[in-house]
Amino acid sequence: MPTIRPELPEDYPAVFEIHRRAFGRPEEAKLVEKLRTVADPQISLVAVCEGDVVGHIFFSPVTIEGQPSSFQALGLAPMAVVPELQNQGIGSLLVKKGIKVAHSMGENIVVVLGHAEYYPRFGFKVASRIGLCCEFPASDEAFMVIELEPRALRGRSGIVKYLPEFSAV
Ligand SMILES: CC(C)(COP(=O)(O)OP(=O)(O)OC[C@H]1O[C@@H](n2cnc3c(N)ncnc32)[C@H](O)[C@@H]1OP(=O)(O)O)[C@@H](O)C(=O)NCCC(=O)NCCS
């Protein structure tokens, strides 16, 4: 059974390799390196299996530019699990723990741009149905949001802007 814990500096090389291998390219791994230095607040968790770091999840701030005012939320991205251990529930443990940590930090809204069939199982809903859209081109179903407190969005709508580092990926 994997354990989930906060990422430590000595995990950085393993985390780089997890993203590089899971995504089949280095861009997401490099994005994590940049986000660690600029994202505030940030959540960075790893999954550890028999002493090996095998999964990673990161959350960074997003700004929801809306009416009547802009407000901040968290964006889940990127996350990855080593290819040989995917589909064994490790990603789910990372998402659930990440959401729990976000809530304990006082965050009430988390967005994700990702697999439309995967994130709804954790409570994410199609964001456009509650008035949020993503600055990046994506299908409607791929951009999702979860409210960690009832009515956290309170009918507020707007465009979700990620940190500039995401634009390079
Ligand atoms: C997405 C990812 C993090 C999930 O981690 P995991 O440990 O395999 O996930 P879990 O075991 O908790 O859940 C497995 C479920 O995820 C689904 N899933 C995995 N990859 C998926 C994909 N590319 N598209 C849609 N669903 C996917 C599986 O079909 C499975 O669904 P099921 O439970 O209905 O059978 C992992 O597959 C991964 O690293 N993928 C490559 C990188 C990536 O795509 N990251 C996410 C970007 S949004």
Tell me how many domains the chain contains: 1
- Residue 6 is which amino acid? P
Give the least confident one: 16-20, 69-73, 95-99, 140-144. 69-73
Residue 34 dihedral angles phi and psi, to the nearest 5°: -70, -45
Domain that holds residue 58: 3-168
Contact 48, 2 (CB under 8 A): yes
Give which of 89, 76, 100 is closest to 5, Cα–Cα. 100
Flag whether pLDDT at 168 surpasses 90: no
How many other C-beta atoms can be found within 10 angstroms of the C-beta atom of residue 109? 23
**Residue 126 binned pLDDT confidence (cut-offs 50, 70, 90):** very high
Q: What is the CATH number of the domain that holds 89?
A: 3.40.630.30
Residues with beta carbon inside 6 Å of ligand 1? 22-23, 78-81, 86-92, 114-115, 117-118
CA of 91 to the centre of ligand 1 (A): 7
Q: Which atom of ligand 1 is nearest to the CA of 95?
A: 12
Name the average pLDDT for the chain. 96
Q: How far is the CA of 119 from the centre of ligand 1 (A)?
A: 9
Nearest CA to ligand 1 atom 33: 87
Predicted confidence at residue 143, as pLDDT, reads 97
Entry pTM:
0.96
- What's the alpha-carbon Rg for the chain, to the nearest Å? 15
